[in-house]
Copies of this chain bind each other. A is one copy, B any other.
Amino acid sequence: MTPIDDDSVVEPTQPGRKRDPSRDASILEATLEVLAEVGAASLTMDLVAARAGAGKATIYRRWTSKTQLVIDAVAHMKRNQVDLEHLPDTGTLRGDLLGLFKPQSMEESERRLKIMTGLASLLSQDRELADAANGAVVKPWADAHFALMQRAVLRGEISASADIQTLSQIVPSMAAYRSLVQRKPMELAFLLSMIDGVVLPALGIHRFDVPSVTPTRRGAGGAKRRPKP
């Protein structure tokens, strides 16, 4: 949060109309929408104002600059996050990792990644913004993976010597890179090749059932079937 630091402290009641808190939410929400649609480069304050049904003066009364607004908007989306409380619990790590991706969670991730992609143009300008994006999109996702892996360790499913810290970042980071540079959307095939081709093997899990997923030999992009000839 970095709104214009108003009179929040010691204040003997001020005259005049009060600020409408609903405007804050509208503006932040509009910012995220525009961000996802046209990207930060083409995001103009007029566009945001129009979308929020607000005047530019109202925006500049709360944020000092476009960059600050965007940073705040990105941080704002950290809410509605993956609940570290109720993570999937299917009994196997593979099931858990895939379970993270079932319901609306899929399109929510897609949305976040889209916003991050649009953010690209500002990432190189502000370290602060880059941190916010990382913290809002990749970090919580990695945290979830970390928690799931930790549980798998306790359960005895995987070795305690595995480098869980590093491995938990693979899927989120690769997904972000993929979205950012390669411009490909979230796809199950990608997830599967990451989980089955990288994460699980690295954790020492080489045999796993593939229940109810694409009966036609998954095309993870090169996983050979036959071992040494």
Q: Which residues of A contact B (CB under 8 A)?
A: 39-41, 117-125, 127, 130, 133-134, 138, 156, 159-167, 169-170, 173-174, 176-178, 180-183, 193-194, 196-199, 201-204, 206, 220-229
Docked-complex contact A124 and B117, CB < 8 angstroms? yes
The minimal Cβ–Cβ distance linking A157 to chain B, given in whole angstroms, is 11
Q: Which of B167, B176, B182, B201 contacts A197 (CB 8 A)?
A: B167
The minimal Cβ–Cβ distance linking A139 to chain B, given in whole angstroms, is 10
What residues on B are CB-neighbors of A226 within 8 Å? 160-161
Docked-complex contact A163 and B202, CB < 8 angstroms? no
Return the chain B residue nearest A198 by Cβ.
B202
The minimal Cβ–Cβ distance linking A155 to chain B, given in whole angstroms, is 11
The minimal Cβ–Cβ distance linking A44 to chain B, given in whole angstroms, is 15
Docked-complex contact B221 and A165, CB < 8 angstroms? yes
Docked-complex contact B222 and A164, CB < 8 angstroms? yes
Docked-complex contact B130 and A182, CB < 8 angstroms? yes
Counting chain B CB atoms within 10 Å of each CB, the highest count among A122, A130, A166, A167 belongs to A166
Known: A118-B124, A159-B227, A174-B177. 4 other contacts (CB 8 A): A138-B181, A160-B226, A166-B221, A201-B201
With A160-B228, A227-B160 as known contacts, state yes or no: A123 contacts B166, CB within 8 Å: no
- Docked complex Cα distance between A163 and B201 (Å): 10
Docked-complex contact B182 and A134, CB < 8 angstroms? yes
What residues on B are CB-neighbors of A221 within 8 Å? 163, 165-166
The minimal Cβ–Cβ distance linking A42 to chain B, given in whole angstroms, is 8
